């Protein structure tokens, strides 16, 4: 039986150029492959996106980390400096705090999906403008609708305000489940960068929120 080159299969799938059916001995993509391929198509569009000016100042785009085969998605505001350097979300000091807190409850980072609303870093970590947010949110909407999570944890004020379409601050919305504009439940908590700035006051609340989110989706039984 002829062997199938996986890269050829991926290229053919992405371009729609399947080999001649008589020569195609590869099985159809499984549902999980379909999810990965669909997300990869979105990532490819992000790589060439010029819908706002942030691509001009960022080093690279930051799409996601972790697994899309998960009931739990974390959404932050935008990449920071370290994320811009590495091309991965939540890998700086704040991201390490998130990772350590997940691990405290026996959940490794690759069991959840992590992303931001903005896919390019705003210069000097300034808050994204409304125009930039509106330009980028279609990507997030597509990611979430493909993954179909049981719960989205909004990390910080900006993500919570966008996902809940509210002006209420994070101290009011955190630690409770809400209905989001994306049609999936949202459970807001502090951004880990804010936790680092006020560790004594915020870390116990942040830890409680992460624990509860993990329990709600069945990733932590403790």
Residues contributing to the site for ligand SF4 (CB under 6 A): 46, 49-52, 54-55, 61, 118-120, 132, 135-136
Asked if 177 and 206 count as a contact pair (C-beta separation under 8 A), the reply is no
Residue 88 or 118: which CB sits closer to ligand SF4?
118
Phi, psi of 88 (to 5 degrees): -130, 145
Residue 117 or 213: which CB sits closer to ligand SF4?
117
The distance of closest approach from Cβ of residue 51 to ligand SF4 in the complex, given in angstroms and rounded to an integer, is 4
The distance of closest approach from Cβ of residue 81 to ligand SF4 in the complex, given in angstroms and rounded to an integer, is 16
Instruction: Report d(CA 147, CA 113) in Å as an integer.
Output: 9
Q: Where are the beta strands (DSSP E) in the chain?
A: 65-66, 72-76, 113-116, 151-154, 178-179, 185-186
Asked if 94 and 78 count as a contact pair (C-beta separation under 8 A), the reply is no
Instruction: Report d(CA 192, CA 94) in Å as an integer.
Output: 5
Residue 39 or 219: which CB sits closer to ligand SF4?
39
175 dihedral zone (left: phi>0; alpha: psi -120 to 50; beta): left
Q: Kindly state the DSSP code that residue 42 receives in the 8-state scheme.
A: H
The distance of closest approach from Cβ of residue 191 to ligand SF4 in the complex, given in angstroms and rounded to an integer, is 18
Residue 5 or 131: which CB sits closer to ligand SF4?
131
The distance of closest approach from Cβ of residue 142 to ligand SF4 in the complex, given in angstroms and rounded to an integer, is 12
Residue 38 or 53: which CB sits closer to ligand SF4?
53
The distance of closest approach from Cβ of residue 88 to ligand SF4 in the complex, given in angstroms and rounded to an integer, is 15
User: Which among 195, 205, 219, 187 has a CA at the least distance from the CA of 90?
Assistant: 195
Asked if 190 and 181 count as a contact pair (C-beta separation under 8 A), the reply is no
The pair of structure tokens assigned to 172 is 């009011």
Asked if 213 and 72 count as a contact pair (C-beta separation under 8 A), the reply is yes
The distance of closest approach from Cβ of residue 219 to ligand SF4 in the complex, given in angstroms and rounded to an integer, is 29
Residue 70 or 133: which CB sits closer to ligand SF4?
133
């Amino acid at each position: 039986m002829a062997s199938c080159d996986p890269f050829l299969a991926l290229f053919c799938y992405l371009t729609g150029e399947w080999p001649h059916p008589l020569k195609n001995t590869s099985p159809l993509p499984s549902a999980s492959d379909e999810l990965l391929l669909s997300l990869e198509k979105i990532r490819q569009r992000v790589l060439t996106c010029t819908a706002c000016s942030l691509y001009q100042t960022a080093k690279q785009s930051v799409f996601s980390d972790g697994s899309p085969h998960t009931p739990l998605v974390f959404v932050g505001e935008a990449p920071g400096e370290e994320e811009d350097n590495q091309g991965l979300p939540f890998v700086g000091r704040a991201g390490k705090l998130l990772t350590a807190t997940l691990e405290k409850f026996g959940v490794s980072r690759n069991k959840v999906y992590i992303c931001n609303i903005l896919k390019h870093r705003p210069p000097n970590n300034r808050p994204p403008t409304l125009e930039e947010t509106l330009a980028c949110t279609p990507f997030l909407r597509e990611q979430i609708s493909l993954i179909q999570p049981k719960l989205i944890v909004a990390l910080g004020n900006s993500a919570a305000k966008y996902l809940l379409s509210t002006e209420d601050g994070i101290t009011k919305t955190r630690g409770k489940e809400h209905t989001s504009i994306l049609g999936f439940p949202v459970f807001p908590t502090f951004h880990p960068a804010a936790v680092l700035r006020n560790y004594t006051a915020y870390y116990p609340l942040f830890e409680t929120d992460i624990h509860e989110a993990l329990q709600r989706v069945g990733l932590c039984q403790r």
